[in-house]
Each structure stands twice: as C-alpha cells, then as structure tokens.
C-alpha cells in the first residue's frame, strides 16, 4: 500500500505565493514565518511538498536538451552539524555533516540541466553524470574541475561520445594565517584534454562557479557563518529543488533577458510564482484521488464475504 502524506490544512494560494517568494529570495524559515505570519512548521511542510513537486516536474521537463557546452561543479554545505562537531552515532551517515550539491549548467542558455545532492565520491559522481547524459540530445563539450571521480563517471556515461576537458586550477600559498574563509590565491589554470577534441577557448568553469554564488545568495542554507544551515537533508534537497525551479523557469536572467528555460526551448512563456503554486495544487489533487481510490479499494476488499471452509 502506498501511503501519501497530504496536508489537508492548506494555506490560501496568496499565502502560498508570498511564502514561496520569500523562500526563493534567500530568507530563512524563521524570517519567512515572521514576514508572512505562517507558522514555522507550516513553512517547512510547504517547502518539502514544493521540493518534491518541483523535482518531479523538472525531471520530466528537462529532457532531450539541445545543449552544446556544459560546465559541472560541486558546492559544499553541511546538514545537522559540521563534520568535526558530529556526535559519534551520526558520523559516516548520509545527511549528517558535509554534503555536496552537484550542478551542470548550459554555458549558452544558463539552464541548470541537472543537479544532485549527495556525497563527493565516485559513486555520487557516476550517478550525477549518468543523469546528465540521459538528458542530452546531442554530443556536447564538457568542462569540469580537476576532481578525480569525474574521470570514471564521464567515461561510464558517455564513453568516447563527448568532447571533455578538465580545468585544473593552481593555487599558491596564502599569506594569511587564517585560511578557512580566505582561500589561497589562484596563480594559474591548466586545461587538460581528456576525451575528444574540446575547443580550448570554451574550456571554462566560470559560469558554473558563478552559479555557486547565486545559490549561496538565494538559499539561506548555503550562507556561511549563520545558523540557517539545514538540520535535515530532506529539507535541504527540497530547498535546492525549489531554487532551481525558480531559477530555470521564473527568474529572468539579466544577460539573456529571458529565463534559462525559455532560452533553452524548454518552455515558450515566462512562468510566475503562481504557476509553481498551481503545480503543487495539481499534485495534491492527484494524490488525494489516489488515496481515495486506495481507501475505497480497501473498504471493498474487507466487505467481501469470506470463503466457506471445506
């Protein structure tokens, strides 16, 4: 039996719109609660439902993409506590401590074609690159940083049908004694061809690294030196899914003058926050129908007369 978690005490559409608008502009759960008058638990519940809805929609919509140049990167965050502060029973468990968001951006349309929240090992890289490969309609030029797991992951997903290069940054020694938030100076970059014939002038990770800044600005969970970090990995994933839904379909890109989804041909219109609310309402109605069907089926099954014993 499939059990759906449906909150029947729904917010009014206008209240949902205001809550979503506050969330996607980088406000914390508590700040959104103060701004909208919605209880914190209700905001969190809405976020999780929205995240699931946005992930399902984009999984179907972002297919057969005609991208030409893709850049990939990973961005760090943490859930529950930093690694050094984790209790013994939480160490080594996914969702506790360091967590990474893998992103793939189309350098031309700025569309986030694929993303994944997970660890930073070869298994996660293989899953992420495999998902990306399944969304592309043609051969692409791919650029990543020098993270070693990409090598095996790209080979498994694309074989030789890709123009792939790594951009390896070279860092010097930092003169500052405190290095946690002051990374060493980048003294140079080395472009390394891995597969195919990538164009050297397009071997870059600038756009995907700029996307990291956008994520930190528009999701409080990614902001350093605050207490707005994620406490549960499920909420973290939901926030990422909602962010990319808003970024791809609603937020007009300054350079493109349209949304990334419009530039990539995924949609032919500008979305509004109301459209995201409508997606959630349609999902809730669908789940409610499924739950009623299951309930009626169980009721019918239990009302059937039992077979006589021989």
Residue 6 has pLDDT above 80, yes or no: no
| pLDDT score for 5 | 43
Give me the count of residues in the chain: 310
pLDDT in tens, 23-36: 999 999 999 999 99
pLDDT in tens, 24-67: 999 999 999 999 999 999 999 999 999 999 999 999 999 999 99
Contacts of 19 (CB under 8 A, 6+ apart): 11, 32, 36, 38, 43, 46
What is the distance between the alpha carbons of residues 248 and 2, in angstroms, rounded to a whole number?
A: 31
pLDDT in tens, 200-246: 999 999 999 999 999 999 999 998 888 889 999 999 999 999 999 99
Query: Domains (ranges, CATH) in the chain?
Result: 13-286 (3.30.420.10)
| pLDDT score for 288 | 85
Strand locations in the chain, DSSP E? 69-79, 97-106, 112-118, 141-144, 163-171, 186-195
pLDDT band, very low/low/confident/very high, at 4 (cuts 50, 70, 90): very low
What is the distance between the alpha carbons of residues 266 and 252, in angstroms, rounded to a whole number?
A: 14
Predicted TM-score of the model (pTM): 0.87
Q: Of the given ranges (149-163, 175-189, 263-277), which has the lowest mean pLDDT? A: 175-189
Q: Residue 77 CB: number of other CB atoms within 10 A? A: 20
Rounded mean pLDDT, 126-130: 97
3-state class (DSSP) for residue 136: strand
3-state class (DSSP) for residue 230: strand
| pLDDT score for 293 | 81
3-state class (DSSP) for residue 80: coil
pLDDT band, very low/low/confident/very high, at 179 (cuts 50, 70, 90): low
| pLDDT score for 224 | 83
Rounded mean pLDDT, 12-20: 93
């Amino acid at each position: 039996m499939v059990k759906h978690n449906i909150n029947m005490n729904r917010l009014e559409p206008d209240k949902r719109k205001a809550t979503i608008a506050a969330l996607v502009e980088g406000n914390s759960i508590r700040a959104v609660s103060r701004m909208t008058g919605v209880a914190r638990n209700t905001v969190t519940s809405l976020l999780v439902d929205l995240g699931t809805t946005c992930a399902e929609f984009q999984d179907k919509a972002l297919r057969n993409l005609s991208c030409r140049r893709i850049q990939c990167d990973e961005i760090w965050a943490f859930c529950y506590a930093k690694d050094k502060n984790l209790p013994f029973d939480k160490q080594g468990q996914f969702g506790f401590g360091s967590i990474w968001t893998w992103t793939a951006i189309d350098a031309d349309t700025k569309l986030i074609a694929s993303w994944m929240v997970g660890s930073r090992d070869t298994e996660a890289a293989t899953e992420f690159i495999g998902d990306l490969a399944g969304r592309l309609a043609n051969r692409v030029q791919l650029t990543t940083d020098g993270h070693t797991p990409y090598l095996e992951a790209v080979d498994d997903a694309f074989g030789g049908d890709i123009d792939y290069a790594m951009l390896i940054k070279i860092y010097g020694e930092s003169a500052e004694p405190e290095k946690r938030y002051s990374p060493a100076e980048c003294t140079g970059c080395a472009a390394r061809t891995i597969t195919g014939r990538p164009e050297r002038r397009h071997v870059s990770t600038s756009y995907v690294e700029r996307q990291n800044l956008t994520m930190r600005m528009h999701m409080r969970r990614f902001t350093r030196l605050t207490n707005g970090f994620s406490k549960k990995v499920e909420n973290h994933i939901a926030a990422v899914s909602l962010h990319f839904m808003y970024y791809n379909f609603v937020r007009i890109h300054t350079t493109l003058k349209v949304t990334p989804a419009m530039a990539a041909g995924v949609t032919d219109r500008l979305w509004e926050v109301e459209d995201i609310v409508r997606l959630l309402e349609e999902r809730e109605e669908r789940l409610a129908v499924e739950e009623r069907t299951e309930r009626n089926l169980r009721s019918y099954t239990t009302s059937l007369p039992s077979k006589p014993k021989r």
